[in-house]
Amino acid sequence: MRLMGTISADRPLVVVAVREEAAYLGDKLPVLLTGIGKVNAAAALATVLARGEHPSEVLNLGTAGALRPGWEGTHTVTQVIQHDLDSPALQELTGRVYGAPLVVGKGEGPILATGDLFVSSAAARERLAEHADLVDMEGYAVASVAHRAGVPVRLVKHVSDEAGDGAAHTWRESVDDCARHLADWLHGQGW
């Protein structure tokens, strides 16, 4: 975890997993590097928000795998789910819902599936495509912590690969270009 800059109530906090995704963001906004995965993302954001001042919103920028053919570009997510939590089984056991889908945007937009599995097989991609359009490893955790803290949140993802065979190789080749697109999106918002 690394926080660069100072959080203030009049501007967003940008949350990214790794420095490669933050390469072109500049220094106008505070940037939190969380590390990869749901635990790292949740722990880092919760720690920073517990320290004091809250930002105007949390902007989770990052790369995502496409679960459907032809998906590319930058997308603002409207709903996020956890793909590696067996919510129906937990509800049956406890009578309570854990890991319900979270609404993070208005209107039409993609559904993001978050989990601690880097999707690099066709079988996993096909299974996830039944419920979502994109896949990442931090979005749900970031949204959950922001919601619990009462801070607005947006998840903006740039497609780095077609989740499945060769995804790891493709991510390494495309992350720099993705970082440029994410920075362009952020600068287009006036930051």
Paired residues of 159 in beta bridges: 64
Give the integer Cα–Cα distance in Å for 57 and 38.
19
Arithmetic mean of pLDDT over the chain: 93
Tell me the H-state helices in the chain: 38-50, 87-94, 122-129, 139-149, 167-188
Q: Is the pLDDT of residue 169 over 70?
A: no
At position 138, the amino acid (one-letter code) is E
What is the pLDDT at residue 118?
Answer: 84
CA–CA distance from 119 to each of 21, 52, 89, 137, 143 (Å)?
18, 36, 23, 9, 20
Give the integer Cα–Cα distance in Å for 44 and 9.
18
Question: Which pTM does this prediction carry?
Answer: 0.93
At position 145, the amino acid (one-letter code) is V
How is residue 55 annotated by DSSP? P
What is the pLDDT at residue 158?
Answer: 97
Question: CB of 53 within 8 A of CB of 5?
Answer: no
For the chain, the straight-line distance linking the first and the last C-alpha, in angstroms and rounded, comes to 23
Q: Is the pLDDT of residue 168 over 70?
A: no
**CATH code given to domain 2-188:** 3.40.50.1580
Question: CB of 65 within 8 A of CB of 167?
Answer: yes
| 81 vs 169, more confident | 81
What is the pLDDT at residue 145?
Answer: 98
Question: CB of 128 within 8 A of CB of 71?
Answer: no
